[in-house]
Structure 1
Amino acid sequence: MPQGKHLYNQDIPYQQLPVTGEFSIFSLGSFSNDLARFPHRHDSFQILWFEKGKGKHVVDFVNYELEDNVVYLLRPGQVHQLLDDGKDGHAIVFTEDFYFSNNNDRGSIFDFTSLYDDSQVYAPINISEATVAKLEALTILMYGEVGKEGSCGKNILKHYLNALMLILERERELHLNLPERPARHFDARVLQLRKLIESNFRQEHQVKFYAEQFALTSKRLNEIVKEATGKTLSELVHDRLVLEAKRQLAYSHRSIKEICYELGFEDPAYFSRFFRNHSGFSPQDFRDEMFK
Structure 2
Amino acid sequence: MRGTTVSPGTEGPPQEEGALPMHRLEVPMPNVLPFAIGTFDTIGAMSRASFPHRHTFYEIVHVTAGTGAHVVDLARWELRPPHLCVLAPGQVHHWEDARGLDGSVILFTDDFLLDHPGDRELLRGLSGRPPRTLDDHAHSRTTRLVADLDDEYRRGARGFETVLRALLHVLVVRTARLSGPGEPDAAPAPAPASAPVRAHAVAEEFTRLIAGADPELWSVRVCAERIGVTAGYLAEAVKAATGRTPGGLIREARTHEAKRLLARTDLTVRQVAHRTGIADPAYFCRFFRRETGLSPGEFRRGGDIHHDHRIPSIADDGRPA
Is the TM value for this pair above 0.5? yes
Q: Which residue of 1 aligns with 2:161?
A: 154
Q: Which residue of 1 aligns with 2:40?
A: 28
Equivalent position amino acid for 2:180 in 1:
H
What pairs with 1:27-46 in structure 2 (closer than 5 Å)?
Answer: 27-30=39-42, 33=45, 36-46=49-59
8 Å contact from structure 1 (residues 29, 89) kept in 2? no
Judge which range, 31-40 or 125-134, deviates more.
31-40
Q: Which residue of 1 aligns with 2:85?
A: 72
Shift of 1:257: 1.3
Q: TM-score, normalised by structure 2?
A: 0.75
Equivalent position amino acid for 1:100 in 2:
L
8 Å contact from structure 2 (residues 21, 54) kept in 1? yes
Change (3 A) 1:85 1:255: same
Change (3 A) 1:135 1:67: same
Cα distance in 2 between the residues matched to 1:19 and 1:229: 36
Cα distance in 2 between the residues matched to 1:178 and 1:19: 36
CA RMSD of aligned residues (A): 2.9
Q: Which residue of 2 aligns with 1:99?
A: 113
Deviations along 1:35-61, whole A, 9 cap, x unmatched? 701111222100011112211111112
Equivalent position amino acid for 1:269 in 2:
A
Change (3 A) 1:129 1:155: same
Which has the higher relative contact order, 1 or 2, with Cα contacts under 8 A spaced 6 or more apart?
A: 1
What pairs with 1:113-132 in structure 2 (closer than 5 Å)?
Answer: 113-117=121-125, 121-132=128-139
Identical residues among aligned pairs (%): 29
Change (3 A) 1:156 1:250: same
Deviations along 1:97-122, whole A, 9 cap, x unmatched? 01126xxx44xxx433333249x854
Aligned partner of 2:67 among 24, 31, 54: 54
8 Å contact from structure 1 (residues 70, 127) kept in 2? yes
Cα distance in 1 between the residues matched to 2:55 and 2:218: 25
What pairs with 1:222-233 in structure 2 (closer than 5 Å)?
Answer: 222-233=235-246
Q: Which residue of 2 aligns with 1:242?
A: 255
Shift of 1:148: 4.6
Shift of 1:253: 2.2
Deviations along 1:112-170, whole A, 9 cap, x unmatched? 3333249x854111122221121112112111110455772111111100001111000
Aligned partner of 1:282 among 292, 295, 311: 295
Q: TM-score, normalised by structure 1?
A: 0.82
Judge which range, 228-237 or 278-287, deviates more.
228-237
Cα distance in 2 between the residues matched to 1:121 and 1:43: 16
Give the helix-richer structure, 1 or 2. 1
Does the residue aligned with 2:159 lie in a helix, a strand or coil?
A: helix
Deviations along 1:199-228, whole A, 9 cap, x unmatched? 785135442332243443433212322343
Shift of 1:69: 1.2
Cα distance in 1 between the residues matched to 2:83 and 2:219: 38
Equivalent position amino acid for 1:274 in 2:
F
Cα distance in 2 between the residues matched to 1:150 and 1:131: 28
Judge which range, 201-210 or 138-147, deviates more.
201-210
Equivalent position amino acid for 2:183 in 1:
L
Cα distance in 2 between the residues matched to 1:178 and 1:221: 31
Q: Which residue of 2 aligns with 1:4?
A: none
Equivalent position amino acid for 1:145 in 2:
E
Q: Which residue of 1 aligns with 2:176?
A: 169
Cα distance in 2 between the residues matched to 1:129 and 1:214: 44
1:140 and 2:154 correspond: no
